[in-house]
A and B are shown apart, each in its own frame.
Chain A
Amino acid sequence: MAKVLTARPPLLDEALAFGGPIVVFDKVSLAFDEKVILREVSFTLQTGHTKIFLGASGAGKSTILRLMLGLLKPDAGRIFVNGEQIDRMREDDLMRVRADLGMVFQEGALFDSLTVGQNVGYKLNEELQWPAEKANARVKEVLGFVGLGEFIDRMPAELSGGQRRRVAIARAMAAKPRILLYDEPTTGLDPITCLTVDEEIIKLRDLEGVSSVLVTHQLRDAFFVAEHAAIREGNQIRFEKADQEKADQAEFIMLKEGRIHFEGNASELRAAAAKDPYIRSFLS
């Protein structure tokens, strides 16, 4: 597993080891004017696990990611990320918390005036002030990881939608964060490209030990990520059906009208669909 770069106090590090509560939402509520987006939403993301948020458009899925990053502040409730309460934190202090978070935005949100290599190395060069040689090596490493090593000098406008998402994943993982947030990473992509992006998410989780939060309304991708595992065999990476213990580490949360409507693993979600018409209509 790659060593993460942000140091934590030893006791906190122990508390947030595999299975520890790396992200906690405690009765979080948020409204924009009259429109209530989230109502007392509570959940815990455990280290090394995956949370998959499902729900209709406008259900508040992407808002949860923005709250985790501190891009939005909740009206009520508490949010803990990496052991720090961030819901009332100042912007300057949030920068420290964000050092351990990576986010893949819906359309990639690549900086269109920078090359692929500059995008991926942005945080290393601009914020972490890595020596150029070390930063370039890391950029090449992560671009190789997502299979885009030869695109380092291209501009984002020259890439396809799928390539842009993969560059966005490379940018998010470049500084080796402990938590990666994916906002609809496969929306608008063809099935083959979707599969490539899904495999990148699984690789990061299983081979790099990154805790993941995936927001999507693409059920096929959600179940694929939840029920598959990546295994390294020499220089090859193989994807196979995950065993039950591994599959249980991916938990689904379905949001409906700002509340958690369902929370459980993939098989529980399928079972719930038999009884719950809303879940059934969503899964069908």
Chain B
Amino acid sequence: MASKIQEWSKDAVLEVQEYVRLIAQVARAVFTPPIYYRDIIEQFDSIGIGSLTVVLLAGLFTGMVLALNSGITLDQFGARSMVGRLISASMVKELGPVLTGLMVSGRVGSGIAAEIGSMLVTDQIAALRALGTDPIRKLVVPRVLAGLLMMPLLSILATGIGMVGGWIVTVLQFHVASSIYWSSVVQGLYMQDVWMGIIKPLFLGFTIVTIGCHVGMRTTGGTQGVGNSTKLAVVASSVAVIAVDFMVTKVLIVLLY
């Protein structure tokens, strides 16, 4: 039993060490040539545009269901005009970034791990190195940059469409006037909330893609290994999204409020 714990601890420390090493390599590669601009643009498209549909749908229905539930509760106190305020505060600060993070980790985190993992087990990564290409610069850096910069944009769009979803339900279901809903949305927003909604996705995007790349780069064991890496990437990045969200929220509350 003791030896198993020792072995598990060693593996855990090794994983953390390799993850930190990957981040250090990425940090160095971002600021030194060569930089593969075409790959960066391709990843912006793949991660950003490619995730748009799923993120918008998630945002829309989250806003709608939030309006539905909160509307019924607020109606009991005769405060159905306050639905917009509740939706804007929830979506901007928390639900927009986290739901986008979860959607992106399911779609992008798994995709990155599967793609890099299958390249690794079929010797394509070794071939890249043999051809004089650093796989960190070619594969990891473009994905990290795309994750870092596209996540805030996706989160803003998800939040916006969530508010639209809330507006549809509030107007059609609770018969609140559009102007009242939107003025309530604006009243519920503070500048600190907006900053939180922009800063959080930066950390979440970075976490999701670096975990996907790390897991992909550590793939072993052929096609079965690729499957395992894909699962691990989704699970680890989804849990990390929630954990990082908590930690970043804690820090931002101290710094902003």
Which residues of A approach B to under 8 Å, CB–CB? Answer: 66, 69, 71, 91-92, 95, 98-99, 101-103, 105-107, 109-112, 122-123, 126-127, 171
B250 to chain A, nearest CB (A): 38
Which residues of B approach A to under 8 Å, CB–CB? Answer: 34, 36, 122-124, 126-127, 129-134, 138
Closest partner residue, chain A, to B39 (CB atom): A126
Write out the residue numbers on chain B whose beta carbons fall within 8 Å of the beta carbon of A111: 124, 127
Q: Which of B34, B127, B131, B133 has the most CB of A within 10 A?
A: B131
B32 to chain A, nearest CB (A): 9
Q: Quick check: B127 and A103 within 8 Å, CB to CB? A: yes
Write out the residue numbers on chain A whose beta carbons fall within 8 Å of the beta carbon of B122: 107, 109, 112
Write out the residue numbers on chain B whose beta carbons fall within 8 Å of the beta carbon of A171: 131
Contact of A69 among B124, B129, B133 (CB under 8 A): B129
Write out the residue numbers on chain A whose beta carbons fall within 8 Å of the beta carbon of B36: 126
Write out the residue numbers on chain A whose beta carbons fall within 8 Å of the beta carbon of B132: 95, 98-99, 123, 127
Q: How far is the CA of A109 from the CA of B120 in the complex (A)?
A: 10
B218 to chain A, nearest CB (A): 16
Q: Quick check: B131 and A105 within 8 Å, CB to CB? A: no
22 A-B pairs whose Cβ atoms sit less than 8 Å apart in the complex? A71-B130, A91-B134, A95-B132, A95-B134, A98-B129, A98-B130, A98-B132, A101-B130, A102-B130, A103-B130, A105-B123, A105-B126, A105-B127, A107-B123, A111-B124, A111-B127, A112-B122, A123-B132, A126-B36, A126-B131, A127-B34, A127-B132
Q: Which of B127, B129, B130, B133 has the most CB of A within 10 A?
A: B130
A71 to chain B, nearest CB (A): 6
A63 to chain B, nearest CB (A): 12
8 further contact pairs, Cβ within 8 A, besides A109-B124, A123-B131, A126-B133: A69-B129, A98-B130, A98-B131, A105-B123, A106-B123, A126-B36, A127-B131, A127-B133
